Amino acid sequence: MKTVESSIDEIKKITGEIDGIYTERIELDESFLDFAARFASIPGTVVLMSGGDNDCSRYHILGAKPWLTFTGRINDMKIKAKDHVFNFKADPFDTLRNILNVYRPYVKHLNGYHMQLPFTSGVLGYLSYDLKDCLEKLPRTSIDDLYLPHICFFAPSIIVVHDRKEDGTSLLIPERIISGKSVLHKDLEVFKNILVSKQPPMESFSGDVDGFRSNFTKSKYINAVKQIKEYIASGHVYQVNISQRFEMNFEGNAFSLFRTLYKLNPAPFFSYINAGDHFIVSTSPERFLLQSGDRVETRPIKGTIPRGENPDEDKRRGIELENSSKNDAELSMIVDLLRNDLGKICEARSVRVAEHKRLEAYKNVFHLVSIVEGILSRDQDTVDVIKAAFPGGSITGCPKIRSMEIIDELEPHRRHIYTGSTGYISFHDTMDLSIAIRTATIVNKKIIFSVGGGIIFDSDPFDEYDETMHKGRTLREVFTGKEKRLSSKSYVWINGNIEPIELAKINVADHGFLFGYGFFETIRVNKGKPQYLQEHIARFNQTWKHLFFEQVPDLTWQDIIYQVISRNDLLEETAAVKIVASKGNSEKSSLDFTLIVMARPYTHRLAEKREQGINLVVYPKPRQTPLADYKTLNYLYYLLAGEWAKKKGADEALILNPDDTISETNTANILLIKDKTFMRPISQHVLPGIMEKVVCKLLLSLGYMSKSKKLCLEDLFLTDQVIITNSLIGAIPVLSINGKKLEKPTDLWRKINNTVL
């Protein structure tokens, strides 16, 4: 694995140095949206568009054909340059700083015109909310089910900036010198070829007819708001931003979605990012950080109310929001937080609130906005600005760290791009990043977006839920009339009910889930007719009696199978039907169990093979449970051994290897102690015990010698004492085996437990 320094040096040789910026005024014969569509399918293309007419909506920016791509997760960094890929361990912010510092000195010859433009060279992309874990030590108890980069930036060779105020468009190409030669002509040629090519066709997009699904029910979201109010009442926090995530199957073109949203509701910070294997479409109204030289700015939004349905109601709504004491308190708290954030990296006494509680109107809602600004200290840089304020306080809460802990506790999924940032960071000390709200991720044929709001003590849980629905309305409604059945939903029969497979529930205390205590039958069904059903059910009943109890289920399996096949539209196909029996929670009732019948289309394994047969190899592991090397859910062997031992009047079962040597018990590792030596039995397959390792290390520190050897049953009676260990019990002595007493144990096990427990 390369270091960041060695990687950056090699990358610089491949990418070359930037020797000025080629600039050309160009005339667009089409809208900027149509122009950007020409580049939208190229991985690494980023489009930043400004909508509306407020003072932060001046420029459209396109970046395409990246000469460098930087992505990372946690501390696993990846940089691509040409056909080279560099992987190394590093902090993502340090890596970003290294990239900016390597190319900053070579961005020169900037004349007055260049200096008027916000971005002439640098990187465009996103910072995910989950980068917070690289800045603070925070819990990670929510699920990261997307597994996307935490940081993703592209350095474009083609940059186009459109000034909406002056109605002028500029082409900018960083002139890179590689091995003494300029590659400007190649980049220009690519741009001109795209410009004269045929306009790409307008592609469509569709959402699933079942619509968006939230990771919260309404009642759970309301309960989460109530939990936050309890945290506020007990002094943990003053405010927390909580969100719910929506997900739906998606088909079609991500840029078409971007285009449609922009035409519907052109907010100040529209972003389209083609990251190759995923797309980001953001319609954010909120600026996170602006830098221009040594001036920095942030514009938090706090306070939202739906627009009125007529001019009079609209005016009343705006006045209501401006006069809301709740929203005033909410915004004031976040302004104070951001003043403190900017104070970390700005000149003393330079941070000020330039404007407070500005009312801004958008299509669906009014927002309250403040402007906080300061002068950057000479010893601080762009990355320091990001680290001081990230993630934005307006979408975490106050105090920020405790708020983020509560967010992780209450939200089931990691946020990824939501409440992170999108935008540009230049090589010439300019930056403009938005807060990624009203932002969708398109990945794996799904579209995902989140909406939330800041909760304070006076928040009404039901109003807060309704506010999230208002904020997400545009993203939901844009799919109206574009619904399709995008997935064939599977149904299962479970304990008498037919349910969509994603809604079927199994109790987490079910022993089939906990221990693999269950079994199944797989049946071929040809056009609705089960093959050899009587034989399958006879074997099923025999296994049921052996593992569960005598009374077999009184069910007409053929009718159940027909229901499942029919519901899954498989009556005219060959299908594989699986009947699953799970033991349930035997502590609850001896008659507790779970029965499941599921079906799927079946294609014969030889159908796609050139050879009409299968090839075998000899498996090197004998059938002696190689799964014992790991703590799998297939725990039935040990469960039955323990139950057998209890029926015999013992506490645990002693497990032997196939050659009759000692292995373990059904829950613990075994240690034999003789004089000042402890012995561990050698076993081909056994779970390495966490507590065993701790105890062995302790015994070594107490002067004991260690041995590992094959041990027979007789060896247990020839030693001073035998103890068993696991993480719950620590160490416990063994008193007898098969009714025969062992040597009386010393108090060593107590000394061990006093240390390790």
How far is residue 453's CA from residue 297's CA, in Å, rounded to a whole number?
A: 22
Length of the chain equals 757
What is residue 134's three-state secondary structure? helix
- H/E stretch holding 536 reads helix 533-547
Taking phi over 0 as left and psi of -120 to 50 as alpha, with beta for the rest, 167 belongs to left
Q: Are 581 and 557 in contact (CB under 8 A)?
A: no
Taking phi over 0 as left and psi of -120 to 50 as alpha, with beta for the rest, 536 belongs to alpha
Residue 449 sits at φ, ψ, to 5 deg, of -150, 160
How far is residue 374's CA from residue 299's CA, in Å, rounded to a whole number?
A: 12
How far, rounded to the nearest angstrom, does the alpha carbon of residue 22 sit from its chain's CA centroid?
Answer: 40
Backbone Cα Rg of the chain: 32
Nearest to 52 by CA among 258, 283, 209: 283
What tokens appear for 372 in the block?
A: 């906080």
The gap between the terminal CA atoms of the chain, to the nearest Å, is: 38
Burial of 617 (0-12, 13-18, 19+ CB in 10 A): exposed
Nearest to 631 by CA among 671, 688, 691, 583: 688
Amino acid at position 195, single letter: L
Buried-state track 146-158, b at ≥16 Cβ within 10 A, e below 16: bebbbbbbbbbbb
Helices within 411-532 (DSSP H only)? 461-471, 473-477, 511-515
Q: CA separation (Å) from 540 to 513, 547, 557? A: 19, 11, 11
SS (H, E, C) 543-582: HHHHHCCCCCCCCCHHHHHHHHHHHCCCCCCEEEEEEEEE
What is residue 299's three-state secondary structure? coil
Annotated active-site positions, please? 286, 302
Taking phi over 0 as left and psi of -120 to 50 as alpha, with beta for the rest, 45 belongs to beta
How far is residue 464's CA from residue 227's CA, in Å, rounded to a whole number?
A: 13
Using CA atoms in the order 65, 68, 69, 70, what is the torsion angle rounded to 10 degrees? -150
What is residue 632's three-state secondary structure? coil
Amino acid at position 662, single letter: I
How far is residue 491's CA from residue 488's CA, in Å, rounded to a whole number?
A: 10
What is residue 474's three-state secondary structure? helix
What tokens appear for 511 in the block?
A: 């022993």
Taking phi over 0 as left and psi of -120 to 50 as alpha, with beta for the rest, 82 belongs to left
How far is residue 498's CA from residue 563's CA, in Å, rounded to a whole number?
A: 8
Buried-state track 574-612, b at ≥16 Cβ within 10 A, e below 16: ebebebbbbbbbbeeeeebbbbbbbbeebeeeeeeeeee
Secondary structure (DSSP) of 644-709 = HHHHTT-SSPEEE-TTS-EEEESS-EEEEEETTEEEEE--SS-PPPHHHHHHHHHHHHTT-EEEEE
Tally of CB atoms within 10 A around 300: 25
What is residue 122's three-state secondary structure? strand
Nearest to 282 by CA among 48, 39, 42: 48
